[in-house]
């Protein structure tokens, strides 16, 4: 007879076994598929994930499942903070999390971790990026110079953002912005290209935490790093461009 909370057993690459609630485990599309198409009683091998990493991933899944199901009293803002802390790990761990999230097909975790890596790239010069990620520069001097020249001469923008993006788009996007005055948090619907003038009107501050709400409402929100740019029109404009899934 099945108990109200079915458990699934997972064995990692280093032979550790985890017993987790089904609802938590099937956050991973891979595990879900295996569970539904294989023998439900046997242990599922997650070959490419170590015990340490799987443990962290299960923490993540549990937190998000409980929050969505209302089992845990946690506000959206608090969940974002939790996510932000979750990815405050050393680089090796972060990369292991990405690879595991990719292999286990946990979309929101993959987005969260990839966004974190993206934030480590933004604003940096190529040399700095290479150092951060320990990447060897395999360009010849001439080849690198040619790419740099083309980037600067052909594809360089003054001031950071073009002046022809519509100045104030969809107010329905504005109305989807939920602002929490206390924590200066703003939630914007996914797949919106939003250019908001005077976000100082919303938060009256120069910096604001912005979260993207994916289209699936049960998927946790991703924190988008905010760019603060002085555009040609002379405004302080915060330009959010969310990933469009193509």
Partner 1 sequence: MQKKTAYSFPDEILEHVFSFIQSDKDRNAASVVCKSWYEIERWCRRKVFVGNCYAVSPTMVIRRFPDIRSIELKGKPHFADFNLVPDGWGGYVLPWISKMAGAYPWLEEIRLKRMVVTDESLELVAKSFTNLQVLVLFSCEGFSTDGLAAIAAGCKNLRELDLRDSEVDDLSGHWLNHFPDTYTSLVSLNISCLGSDDVSFSALERLVGRCPNLRRLLLNREVPLDKIANLLSRAPQLIEFGTGTYAAELRSDVYSNLVEAFCNCKELKSLSGFWDAVPAYLPVIYSVCSRLTSLNLSYAPIQNPDLTKLVSQCPSLQRMLVLDYIEDSGLEVLASSCKDLQELRVFPSDPFGEEPNVSLTEKGLVAVSSGCPKLQSVLYFCRQMSNAALVTIAQNCPNFTRFRLCLLDPKIADYRTLQPLDVGFGAIVEHCKDLRRLSLSGLLTDCVFEYIGMHAKKLEMLSVAFAGESDLALHHVLSGCESLRKLEIMNCPFGDKALLANAAKLETMRSLWMSSCSVSLGACKMLGQKMPRLNIEVMDEKGPPDSRAESDPVDKLYIYRSVAGPRFDMPPFVWTMDEDFASELS
| Binding residue (CB under 8 A) for partner 1 from 2, 156, 205, 217 | 156
206 binds partner 1 (CB under 8 A): no
- Could you say which residues in the range 76-95 bind partner 1, by CB under 8 A? 90-92, 95
176 binds partner 1 (CB under 8 A): no
| Dihedral angle over CA of 37, 43, 49, 51, nearest 10 | 150
- Could you say which residues in the range 109-128 bind partner 1, by CB under 8 A? 110-111, 114-115, 117-119, 121-126
CB of 227 to partner 1, least distance (A): 7
171 binds partner 1 (CB under 8 A): yes
With CB under 8 A, what is the number of residues at the site for partner 1? 68
| Binding residue (CB under 8 A) for partner 1 from 149, 178, 191, 207 | 149
**DSSP assignment of the chain:** ---SS-EEEEEETTS-EEEEEHHHHTTSHHHHHHHHHS-TTSPEEETT--HHHHHHHHHHHHHHHHHHHTSS---HHHHHHHHHHHT-S-HHHHHHHHHHHHHHT-HHHHHHHHHHHHHHHTT--HHHHHHHHT------HHHHHHHHHHHHHHS--SSSS-S-S-SS--HHHHHT-EEETTTTEEEEETT-EEEEETTHHHHSSS--EEEEE-SSTTSPPEEEPPPEEE-TTS-EEEEEEPPPP-
| Binding residue (CB under 8 A) for partner 1 from 155, 182, 215, 217 | 155
d(CA 3, CA 37): 21
- Could you say which residues in the range 15-34 bind partner 1, by CB under 8 A? none
| Binding residue (CB under 8 A) for partner 1 from 5, 59, 75, 148 | 148
169: exposed, middle or buried (C-beta count within 10 Å: 0-12, 13-18, 19+)? Answer: middle
48 binds partner 1 (CB under 8 A): no
Comparison of 41 and 172: residue with beta carbon closer to partner 1:
172
| Binding residue (CB under 8 A) for partner 1 from 42, 52, 159, 207 | 159
| Binding residue (CB under 8 A) for partner 1 from 41, 158, 181, 205 | 158
To which residue do tokens 């799987």 refer?
54
Comparison of 57 and 65: residue with beta carbon closer to partner 1:
57
| Binding residue (CB under 8 A) for partner 1 from 14, 52, 59, 167 | 167
Q: What residues make contact with partner 1 under the rule CB under 8 A? A: 90-92, 95, 98-99, 102, 110-111, 114-115, 117-119, 121-126, 129-130, 133-139, 143-144, 147-162, 164, 166-171, 197-198, 200-201, 224, 227, 230, 232-236, 241, 243
């Amino acid at each position: 007879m099945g108990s109200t909370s079915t458990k699934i057993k997972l064995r990692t690459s280093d032979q550790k076994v985890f017993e987790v609630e089904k609802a938590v485990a099937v956050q991973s599309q891979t595990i879900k598929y295996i569970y539904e198409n294989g023998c439900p009683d046997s242990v599922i091998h997650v070959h490419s994930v170590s015990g340490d990493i799987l443990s962290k991933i299960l923490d993540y899944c549990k937190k998000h499942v409980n929050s969505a199901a209302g089992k845990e009293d946690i506000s959206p803002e608090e969940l974002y903070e939790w996510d932000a802390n979750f990815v405050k790990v050393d680089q090796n761990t972060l990369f292991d999390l990405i690879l595991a999230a990719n292999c286990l097909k946990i979309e929101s975790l993959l987005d969260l971790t990839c966004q974190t890596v993206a934030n480590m790239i933004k604003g940096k010069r190529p040399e700095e990026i290479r150092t951060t990620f320990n990447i060897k520069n395999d360009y010849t001097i001439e080849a690198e110079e040619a790419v740099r020249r083309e980037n600067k001469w052909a594809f360089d923008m003054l001031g950071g953002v073009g002046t022809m993006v519509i100045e104030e788009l969809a107010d329905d996007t504005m109305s989807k912005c939920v602002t929490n005055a206390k924590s200066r948090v703003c939630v914007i619907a996914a797949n919106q290209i939003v250019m908001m003038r005077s976000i100082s009107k919303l938060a009256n501050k120069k910096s604001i935490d912005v979260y993207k709400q994916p289209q699936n409402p049960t998927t946790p929100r991703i924190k988008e790093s905010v760019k603060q740019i002085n555009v040609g029109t002379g405004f302080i404009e915060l330009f959010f461009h969310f990933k469009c899934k193509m």
